Each structure stands twice: as structure tokens, then as C-alpha cells.
Structure 1
Amino acid sequence: MKFTATVLATLAFAAAAPAALAQAWPAKPVTLVVPFPPGGTTDVLARALGERLQQALGQTVIIESKPGAGATLGADHVAKSRPDGYTLLVGAVHHTIATSVYKKLPYDFQKDFAPISTVALVPNVLTISATTHATDVKSLVALAKAAPNPFTYGSNGNGTAQHLIGTQFAEMNGIPLLHIPYKGSGPLTTDLIGGQVQMSFDTVTPVLPHIKAGKLKALAVTTAKRSSALPDVPTLDEAGMKGFDLGTWFGVLAPAATPKDVVARLSAEMVKVIHSPEFRQRMLEIGAEPIGNTPDEMARQIKDDTEKYARLVKNAKVSIE
């Protein structure tokens, strides 16, 4: 009887351990891994979220930058991290594109991550230097067609949303464009202002201050709706590119084996933050639309976008070893 009682007690303890672990979480700082260099939209969004999330969790939230390979290096780091809820990825639509662009990835974005919540949708914006003699999409396309060499456009890296938007823009307007990949929005924006590249399709956030300062010109946003931060700038659909609707969403994910209770707690706290008036106001200031959906809704979003961008990648013949 003593042996049986001991075995039962051990089994009961083992069964209760995961629940106890989840209840004790968080017992130390939580790290949000940003797979792009500091200063870009992902970084700005992560810091805004982290600042408020640490108040909700009662623990420090650390923002750690791990850029490289079109945001896949940071993703791989999180996929292989201990699944305890302390290392999270600030993922983006780029990761659904990378699934089709890269011939070999060391992780499976749908299988190796547990979605927590989509934080916000940020429109991309067609931007040119203030010194470029174009006032709208039509005149820019005319300039590109008349130029002896292909116009250049910069992006945050191969296989990113900006890269793919550029291929779609070129195809729909029948113009050649030369893609120049950068390591992040900072160096890209500097070269765009200086005229080293002629256009970009970056997200609104990093270019907004320069548009307001008159150093850059915004010709159109890439989403179906206009940006609240640039209400006078038309959409590409309004500019004649009918049906064009591509934007960049950002969200948070954990390693796949993270306890469900921890994922649920993280999701609940993040959604509260995302739906708060203060966070919403901060998002509107940087040109983002707050979302705050459930893990299941984010998982469906990832699945749908992976399928959608696979078709676009195939048509554009974009491939990276």
C-alpha cells in the first residue's frame, strides 16, 4: 500500500507540474527577439509593446535585436530556444514569404512556432526622394520607362514584403526595376534621401518623419485602405493599379512546445495592451493599425498568407539558396 501510495503521489505531482509551472510564470525577464536592426518598424513596435507588457506581467521585457537573412536568423534562434515563454519572436509577414523564397530554412514557420497575437498592420508606402521629378505613380512610371537604365528600389532584405511588392509593382506597370537589399530601414532610408536608390516600398513608420520633413515624397500606400498617418496619400489601387492590396503585419510567437497555459496568458495580456487607448494612440502615431487577435486567428492568418505569397513568389520567380 505504501508503494502504491508513493507511486500515486509521484504521478499526481508530475501531472500538476506543468500547471504549477504555468502559474509561476513569469518568474524572470521575458525577451522579445526582433529579427531586424534597431530603428525599423519591428523594433519600434516591439518597444511600444514591451514597455506596456512588462507592467502587465510584473517582469522586465527585454528587446533583443537579431537581424539577418531577411529576418530568418532571429526566427531560427527563437524556434530553437527553450519553450518556456521567456524567449519570443516579433514575427512579421516576411516570415510567411520566406517559407517560399528560401529553398532551405532551418525551421518550419507553421510547425515550429505557437502564435500568440498579431499586434498591428502597417501599410507599406511607395516613397521617392524629394529631388525626384515625379508627383504621382503615373509620372514615376513614365520616368522609369524613359530612363536608359532600370530604376532601383531598396528593401529590408531579400524575401521581405518590400522586395515582393517591388516585383509586383514592376510587373503590373511593365517596367524593369533593380532590387537593392539592405540590412534594415535605417541605411535604406538614408540612401533613399541621398538618391542612391530611387524608390522604396518600406512600411510607413520609418519614413513618416522624413515625409513630414519634406525629404521624401509619398506617392501611394500599398494596402486597400489609406493610411491614417498619411490620409492624403492615395492607395495604389486608386492610382490605377486595380486590386493591389499588400501590407505588413507584425505579431508575437513562441516556440511551438511552449505550455498552452503560458501562451494563453501571454495572449490575454497582449490583447489587453493592444486594445488599450494608450497603445492604440501610439500605433496611430507611427502609422500602424492595432489588431490584437487570438492565437487561432493568427494561425489562420499565417496559413492564408503563406499560401497567398507562395503564388506571388512563384510568379515573380524569386528564390534564395
Structure 2
Amino acid sequence: MRKLLAAVAVTALFAGPAFAEYPERPITVVVPFAAGGPTDTVTRLVAESMSKDLGQQVVVENAGGAGGTLGAGKVAQATPDGYTLLLHHIGMATSASLYRKLAYDPLNAFDYVGLVTDVPMILVAKPTFEPTDLKGVVDYVKANADKVNYANAGIGSASHLCGMLFMSAIKTKLTAVPYKGTGPALTDLMGGQVDVMCDQSTNVTNQIKEKKIKAYGTTTKTRIPALPDVPTGAEAGLPGFEVGIWHGLYAPKGTPKAAIDKLVPALQKALKDPVVVERFASLGTVPSSDADATPAALEAKLKSEIARWKPIIEAAGEYAD
């Protein structure tokens, strides 16, 4: 009740003409993961471009931990005045099933700004991994399930979700090796300490190009332009291996409509910024369209993804308290 009353008070305070000057000071975008990771990279590119349009600096703050739920919870409890935002990935949807207890309701604790990008995932392995193609990986993994491990950045991370999808697609359980972030996991993969990993193209494209790791297949319907030699899962004989790690921009519930109405066009403009488009392309992804960079599109995406991932997570039986 206290949160609701605070939201009503803030909305009333800023509903008048004075709020037309928004933003009057820097805006903070919370990334619920460590600095240097794929979501952090996406956020910093978009934030820099939005700063130019809004006339105020958009500052990125990393608040990692618990698969993104700590950072998301922090924003859910923030004053809904338009100066604290959240840029989160698909974990916003999966946390509803992965975590038995959440300090917030993913669907009802936030207002929506819009979708930012849908990043492809790629199944990769250490440079000395024996299989030469995805079919070989599947055969090898099934024959050596007790010996093969897969790295991820912890429960709720994109790499964890993609790993669950891969195991679901091949109907084989592997030993998970969780890390505190994608960076150390990728370092150990390149060093051969772990066998396989499934992560966002924004995080592994350069390492694939430099042949520091092996790439076996993408989770997309079509090949990634930045990696034209890497087949899709369907092309390589694994049609059920499809997922994109979509990212969305949120605000605390009760944020004044006047703020959202300025943030939406600023986001849309940033996603058409040539610098952002080019950098996204080099990382194997593309910005969301104007139609997707809207509150309605993000809300619809979140609802559909919660429904999609619930049975996958329940079947895997991997939960966090």
C-alpha cells in the first residue's frame, strides 16, 4: 500500500506542466548483470545515444546478482519519477518460474518503455572439442553425458537458459558449471577448462572469428550475417534449438506517462542511430523496430515468454530460492 501511495503522489506531483521539462537531471539505467557482459554492452550503446536526444546523461549502473533479480528488484522499489530505469533481458520472463520467491512481480511491478534488441545465441565449445559439426556434438554428448560439462553464468543467465534449451532439444542432461559471470566462463572455455557453452552472439562473435573457440550452431531461423559460416540449429539437424535473448527497457510502476512519452521516442531514435546499428551488426544482432520499441510490444513479449518458458523450466527442474 505504501508503494502504491508513493506512486500516486509522484504521479500527481509530476503530472502538470512542470514535468514537461523532463529530464532535468541524469537518468540511471540499471543493468542487473556485471559490467562487460552482453547486456551491459547493449545498454551502454543505447544509453549513450539516448543521452544525445534527451539532453541529459543516461548513466549505466551495474547491479548484478541472483540471475538479474537483485537489480530488477532494486528498480521495482525505486521512486517512479522517470530517473531510474531497468534494461533487462529474457530473464525478466524466466525469473517468474526459476525463482520460488521474488521480491517483485515481473508483470506488474514495472511500466514498459520498449524492446531494444533480440540477440541470437550460439552453441560454442573449447578449441580442442572433438566434434566437427552440430550433429557430431549431439552424438558425442549423448554418448559421453557423464563426462561433458557446460558452462553458464549462473541460474537465470542467458547462457543458463540456452543450456537448458539445448538439453531439452537433445533430451540429455549435462553437468552444469556455473560462474559469476559470462566473462570468466568464456575465459575458461577458451582455456579448455570447460567443454561447451551457449551464449549471446554479442559476447562470443569476436572469439569465434579469432578461432579462440569453436562454433557449432545458432539459435536463429536464418544465419547471422556477422558469422555467415555458422549454420542455424535447424540447418544442422536440431530444429527445436531456437531462442533469442531479447532485451527490454522498463521503469518502476507508476512512472508518469509524461516521462514514458519522452523515453519511447528517445529509445526509437537511439535504435536508428548509425553508430548503434553498425555496432549491433558487428556483434551479430539488430536493433528493434519502431513497432517493437513500444510499451505495448514489450508487455506482450513478456507475457508470451513467461508462458513459453514455464514448462521448459519445470521439466528441467532447475530452480533457485
Q: Same fold (TM over 0.5)?
A: yes
For 1:48 and 1:172, how far apart are their aligned partners in 2? 33
Q: How many residues align?
A: 308
Match of 1:172 in 2: 169
| Shift in CA distance, 15/128, structure 1 to aligned 2, threshold 3 Å | closer
User: Which 10-residue stretch deviates more, 21-30 or 123-132?
Assistant: 21-30
For 2:276 and 2:201, how far apart are their aligned partners in 1? 17
Is 1:246 the counterpart of 2:239? The answer is no
Which of 91, 102, 111 aligns to 1:105? It is 102
Residues 144-155 of structure 1: matches in 2 within 5 Å?
144-147=141-144, 149-155=146-152
| Shift in CA distance, 178/21, structure 1 to aligned 2, threshold 3 Å | farther
The percent identity for this pair of structures is 38
- Secondary structure of 2:199's partner? coil
The gaps in structure 1 that reach 5 residues or longer are 1-13
Match of 1:137 in 2: 134
Contact 1:85–1:263 (Cα < 8 Å) also in 2: yes
For 2:27 and 2:138, how far apart are their aligned partners in 1? 47
Q: CA deviation at 1:132?
A: 1.2
Match of 2:209 in 1: 212
For 1:127 and 1:153, how far apart are their aligned partners in 2? 10
| Shift in CA distance, 101/148, structure 1 to aligned 2, threshold 3 Å | closer
Contact 2:99–2:319 (Cα < 8 Å) also in 1: yes
Match of 2:190 in 1: 193
Match of 2:46 in 1: 49
User: Which 10-residue stretch deviates more, 276-285 or 61-70?
Assistant: 276-285
For 1:317 and 1:276, how far apart are their aligned partners in 2? 42
For 2:261 and 2:146, how far apart are their aligned partners in 1? 53
User: Which 10-residue stretch deviates more, 105-114 or 236-245?
Assistant: 236-245
Is 1:310 the counterpart of 2:307? The answer is no
Question: Could you report, residue by residue, the CA deviation over 1:282-307 in whole angstroms, capped at 9, with x for unpaired residues?
Answer: 21111112104211111101111111
Contact 2:158–2:200 (Cα < 8 Å) also in 1: no
Q: CA deviation at 1:89?
A: 0.5
Residue type of the alignment partner of 1:108: D
Is 1:70 the counterpart of 2:58? The answer is no
Residues 267-286 of structure 1: matches in 2 within 5 Å?
267-286=264-283
Larger radius of gyration: 1
For 1:177 and 1:102, how far apart are their aligned partners in 2? 21
Match of 2:200 in 1: 203
Residue type of the alignment partner of 2:318: V
Question: Could you report, residue by residue, the CA deviation over 1:123-172 in whole angstroms, capped at 9, with x for unpaired residues?
Answer: 01000111111211111223223337331111222023322322232233
CA RMSD between the two structures: 1.7
Match of 1:10 in 2: none
For 2:182 and 2:12, how far apart are their aligned partners in 1? 48
Contact 1:116–1:294 (Cα < 8 Å) also in 2: yes
Question: Could you report, residue by residue, the CA deviation over 1:246-289 in whole angstroms, capped at 9, with x for unpaired residues?
Answer: 11011210001100110111011111110233321121111112
For 2:26 and 2:163, how far apart are their aligned partners in 1? 39
Residue type of the alignment partner of 1:319: Y
Match of 2:8 in 1: none
Question: Could you report, residue by residue, the CA deviation over 1:77-100 in whole angstroms, capped at 9, with x for unpaired residues?
Answer: 111011111111011101100111
The gaps in structure 2 that reach 5 residues or longer are 1-10
Q: CA deviation at 1:26?
A: 0.5
Contact 1:159–1:318 (Cα < 8 Å) also in 2: no
Q: CA deviation at 1:17?
A: 4.8
Q: CA deviation at 1:41?
A: 0.9
For 2:215 and 2:14, how far apart are their aligned partners in 1? 55
Match of 1:160 in 2: 157
Is 1:90 the counterpart of 2:91? The answer is no
| Shift in CA distance, 249/21, structure 1 to aligned 2, threshold 3 Å | farther
Q: CA deviation at 1:64?
A: 0.7
- Secondary structure of 1:31's partner? strand
For 1:263 and 1:15, how far apart are their aligned partners in 2? 15
For 2:56 and 2:208, how far apart are their aligned partners in 1? 37
- Secondary structure of 1:124's partner? strand
| Shift in CA distance, 16/188, structure 1 to aligned 2, threshold 3 Å | closer
Is 1:221 the counterpart of 2:218? The answer is yes
